[in-house]
Structure 1
Amino acid sequence: MPDRSSPSVSLPDDLGYLVIEGVIGAGKTTLAQLLTEAVDGRIVLEQFKENPFLERFYENKDRWAFQTELTFLASRFKQQKDLGARDLFHRIVVSDYAFDKNRIFAHQTLSGDELQLFETLYSIMEPNVPTPDLIVYLQSSPERLMENIRKRDRSYERSMDPAYIQSLHEAYDHYFRTYRKTPLLIVNAAEIDFVEHEKDLEVLLHHIANADLDGTTYVDPVVERS
């Protein structure tokens, strides 16, 4: 969690479930934490550390992709189902992933019968998870993503293949270019730092609080620094 506190922000009543998305290293968990603090909400974080196959996946993707994706699918489904439980203390829920990310990753790592089985399971689960009121997509660049991955220095990410990040970057951009399921705020995050620069965070929180809940909106916080 970032050391400094976030500026407070008020969200409209129709924003009760927000999701922060982006490729590995985009800063989605950090922004989810800052946003949750700013709105005094409840946070839901992806439990990637509990996936026993993740480190092995990064060592040998072909060998461990199927186990990794199915474990994530089951874990995320359980978390999403639990969101239906009433929270008497928090009106707003913020998550650092969308259930849709299961398909984005699976189509990068699986093929043939494994992908078909994954799709079958996903199609059974997906109608039973809550729909976000808004998704915030942190659109970065492969170079910035790799820089952020190196900075956080997780042991199993030290051998991260830039080609894999490039592939995920293209897959995410393609997915959200055609995304129509919920309101979507696409943020150009390649040249901002909402941890070190408070102005970047303020601008970003302002756009989230005032997001157009009808379709897709594009935001470039860099042009609003001055």
Structure 2
Amino acid sequence: MAPNPYIAIEGAIGVGKTTLARILAEAIQGELLLEVFEENPFLGDFYADRPRYAFQTQLFFLLSRYRQQHRVIAQTLEHHALVSDYLFAKDWLFAHLNLAGDELAMYERVHAILGEQIPAATLVVYLKASTDTLMGRIAFRDRSYERQIERGYLVDLQLAYERFFAEYTAAPVLTIDTDGLDIVHEPAARAAVISRVKDALQSDSYQLPLPDMQATLAEPRPLQRGQRLPDFQRFQHAFDRERGFIIDLFFDYICLTEELGEIGRVLKRVWHRQDALLAQVGNRSEARDRALQTVSADLEEELADALAYLLKIANDAGIDLESAYIKKMDRNARRTWPSP
């Protein structure tokens, strides 16, 4: 373990950052740096009316976090290890979630100046949990200014964190799924997490690299994070909220299965049409292509509907589909497939 490491804990609201920070600080005999978010006078108003109070809230947080971390981190690390329940860079994440236009541009200029003066962490521990888990934990601790947090805002925040850490390179990142993990009441779970953090501190890097999609899939243009799919998820989420559509994991799953059935019915038409055309053209491949042309508009629409419900399910579950797909394809590329 490097001398006097600086560990920053990150994750969405209610994921358990402060709890883990306290446990780790004791485990490594380090100092504890906790965010003083209760002092933000705009926070309660922000959760009630985000567009109106976003800029004041974000700017207060930025300056408050800077005052707290500037010099304190460097001075502490001269003599002790340090564990914090937040990363200064996360302020940028929240700003991009809540601000736009001139307000965001002004914020970015200030953040760029201040951020250069904050020491980087030795290790970032990124905690994740499902939206249901986060909502339950927020309700359980019952902070007055958090009572108006909307589920949709948490989903947006979870997606923002996934995108943020997919590109984060300032320090190694250890990701821990906290669903079903009780480090307060279960000693074994607590010991396992402490062990993982200590192991991560021993390694040079804990952030798994993105797979080389061009090499593994031999595509002329490799898939990359931050291109299209996250934009689709954000649009779908905003569209559902704007139109007042039902946002329910199980309802969306039922609708997805219905859309898959519609796709099956369209393909059934292709099957029968292909057989009818085969006698005319004498080539099954050409017969299939011609049959597909007769239903291409219907198939396109049904596939789009299925994708929409897949995006809705991913949003409700707090899953970044792009990240999940790339990780899955990386695993598939490493598998040995049986010969046909």
Tell me, yes or no, whether TM beats 0.5: yes
Q: Does structure 1 residue 134 correspond to structure 2 residue 123? A: yes
Amino acid of the structure 1 residue aligned with 2:36: Q
User: Given that residues 42 and 90 in structure 1 are in contact (C-alpha distance below 8 angstroms), is that contact kept between their aligned partners in structure 2?
Assistant: no
User: Given that residues 10 and 86 in structure 2 are in contact (C-alpha distance below 8 angstroms), is that contact kept between their aligned partners in structure 1?
Assistant: yes
How much has 1:50 moved relative to structure 2? 0.9
1:73-110 superposed Cα distances (whole Å, 9 cap, x missing partner) = 00111111132453499521110000111111011110
User: Given that residues 40 and 57 in structure 2 are in contact (C-alpha distance below 8 angstroms), is that contact kept between their aligned partners in structure 1?
Assistant: yes
Q: Does structure 1 residue 79 correspond to structure 2 residue 68? A: yes
User: Given that residues 4 and 78 in structure 2 are in contact (C-alpha distance below 8 angstroms), is that contact kept between their aligned partners in structure 1?
Assistant: no
Amino acid of the structure 2 residue aligned with 1:74: L
1:123-158 superposed Cα distances (whole Å, 9 cap, x missing partner) = 111111010000000011111111110110111212
Q: How many residues align?
A: 207
Segment drifting more, 21-30 vs 86-95: 86-95
Amino acid of the structure 2 residue aligned with 1:213: D
Match of 2:15 in 1: 26
Matches within 5 A, 1:119-198: 119-198=108-187
User: Given that residues 43 and 95 in structure 1 are in contact (C-alpha distance below 8 angstroms), is that contact kept between their aligned partners in structure 2?
Assistant: yes
1:156-186 superposed Cα distances (whole Å, 9 cap, x missing partner) = 2122100000000010011112211111101
Cα distance in 1 between the residues matched to 2:50 and 2:84 = 26
User: Given that residues 125 and 175 in structure 2 are in contact (C-alpha distance below 8 angstroms), is that contact kept between their aligned partners in structure 1?
Assistant: yes
CA RMSD between the two structures: 1.7
Task: Give unmatched runs, 5+ long, in structure 2.
Answer: 210-340
1:26-85 superposed Cα distances (whole Å, 9 cap, x missing partner) = 000010011111222111111101111111111111111100000000011111113245
Match of 1:4 in 2: none
Match of 2:207 in 1: 216
Match of 1:221 in 2: none
Cα distance in 1 between the residues matched to 2:74 and 2:167 = 31
Cα distance in 2 between the residues matched to 1:125 and 1:136 = 23
Match of 2:262 in 1: none
1:41/1:90 Cα in 2 relative to 1: closer, same or farther (>3 Å)? farther
Q: Does structure 1 residue 42 correspond to structure 2 residue 31? A: yes
User: Given that residues 133 and 182 in structure 1 are in contact (C-alpha distance below 8 angstroms), is that contact kept between their aligned partners in structure 2?
Assistant: yes
Q: Alignment identity in percent? A: 41
Q: What SS class does the counterpart of residue 132 from structure 2 fall into?
A: helix
Q: What SS class does the counterpart of residue 70 from structure 2 fall into?
A: helix
User: Given that residues 83 and 130 in structure 1 are in contact (C-alpha distance below 8 angstroms), is that contact kept between their aligned partners in structure 2?
Assistant: no
How much has 1:213 moved relative to structure 2? 2.8
Q: What SS class does the counterpart of residue 86 from structure 1 fall into?
A: helix
Amino acid of the structure 2 residue aligned with 1:62: P
User: Given that residues 14 and 133 in structure 1 are in contact (C-alpha distance below 8 angstroms), is that contact kept between their aligned partners in structure 2?
Assistant: no
Match of 1:64 in 2: 53
Match of 2:96 in 1: 107
Q: What SS class does the counterpart of residue 116 from structure 2 fall into?
A: helix
1:207/1:217 Cα in 2 relative to 1: closer, same or farther (>3 Å)? farther
Q: What SS class does the counterpart of residue 75 from structure 2 fall into?
A: coil
Match of 1:51 in 2: 40
User: Given that residues 134 and 213 in structure 1 are in contact (C-alpha distance below 8 angstroms), is that contact kept between their aligned partners in structure 2?
Assistant: no
User: Given that residues 93 and 161 in structure 2 are in contact (C-alpha distance below 8 angstroms), is that contact kept between their aligned partners in structure 1?
Assistant: yes
The one of the two structures with greater contact order (alpha-carbon pairs below 8 A, sep at least 6) is: 1
